[in-house]
């Protein structure tokens, strides 16, 4: 069964191999060098460069609707023959938001709160980026339900980085 795998940058190659991923989304600061795992072809890798912030800040790139639209389009093109690997620097904020967004975009019938609870169970340190969630909520026409669901699970446990985990595409 296809699923999304979330990983921090430090465990990227290990996660690609361990989970058999063939497609990858990178959400990381512009200019950060990311060594694409050998399992991931260049054409099957989406690189989205922006800082992990929720409000515009001087000298930083904040996430915008175009980033979320590219993420959703990439997820919709994914053939689901192997897991989709999504990572950011720490595997806590940008990547957990992107995994949640991708799962909802691919399965509009999903209950936002139920999926948020699964996310929390599978990733105790997850603190999805609120700006990404709000942008996706608007783009996907979820009427605030994604934002409310993520708020309801609160901030994740303190961690330097998250552990690789699976977010299922069936609930």
Q: What confidence category does residue 170 fall into, taking pLDDT thresholds of 50, 70 and 90? A: confident
Q: Which fold has domain 3-166?
A: 3.90.190
How many CB atoms are located within 10 Å of the residue 137 CB?
22
pLDDT at 162 > cutoff 90: yes
Copy the structure tokens of residue 82.
Answer: 């192997």
Over the stretch 32-79, which tens digit does the pLDDT of each residue have? 999 999 999 999 999 999 999 999 999 999 999 999 999 999 999 999
Mean pLDDT of 126-144: 99
Q: Which residues pair with 8 in a beta bridge?
A: 88
pLDDT at 1 > cutoff 70: no
**Residue 15: predicted pLDDT:** 98
Q: Can you give the chain as a three-state secondary structure string? A: CCEEEEEEHHHHHHHHHHHCCCEEEEEECCCCCCCCCCCCCHHHEEEEECCCCCCCCCCCCCCCHHHHHHHHHHHHHCCCCCCEEEEECCCCCHHHHHHHHHHHHHCCCCCHHHHHHHHHHHCCCCCCCHHHHHHHHHHCCCCCHHHHHHHHHCCCCCCCCCCCEEEECCC
**Residue 48: predicted pLDDT:** 98
Mean pLDDT of 121-141: 98
C-alpha distances (whole Å) from 58 to each of 42, 62, 97 are 32, 10, 23
Q: What confidence category does residue 171 fall into, taking pLDDT thresholds of 50, 70 and 90? A: confident
């Amino acid at each position: 069964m296809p699923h999304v795998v979330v990983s921090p940058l430090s465990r990227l190659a290990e996660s690609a191999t361990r989970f058999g991923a063939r497609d990858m989304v990178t959400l990381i600061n512009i200019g950060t060098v990311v060594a694409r795992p050998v399992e991931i072809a260049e054409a099957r890798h989406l690189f989205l460069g922006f800082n992990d912030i929720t409000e515009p800040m001087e000298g930083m790139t904040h996430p915008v609707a175009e980033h979320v639209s590219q993420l959703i389009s990439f997820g919709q093109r994914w053939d689901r023959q192997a897991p989709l690997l999504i990572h950011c620097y720490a595997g806590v904020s940008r990547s957990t938001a992107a995994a949640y967004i991708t799962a909802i975009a691919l399965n509009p019938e999903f209950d936002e709160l139920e999926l948020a609870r699964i996310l929390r169970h599978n990733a105790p340190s997850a603190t999805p980026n609120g700006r990404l969630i709000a942008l996706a909520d608007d783009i996907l026409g979820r009427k605030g339900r994604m934002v409310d669901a993520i708020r309801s699970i609160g901030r994740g446990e303190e961690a330097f980085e998250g552990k690789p985990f699976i977010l299922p595409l069936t609930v």
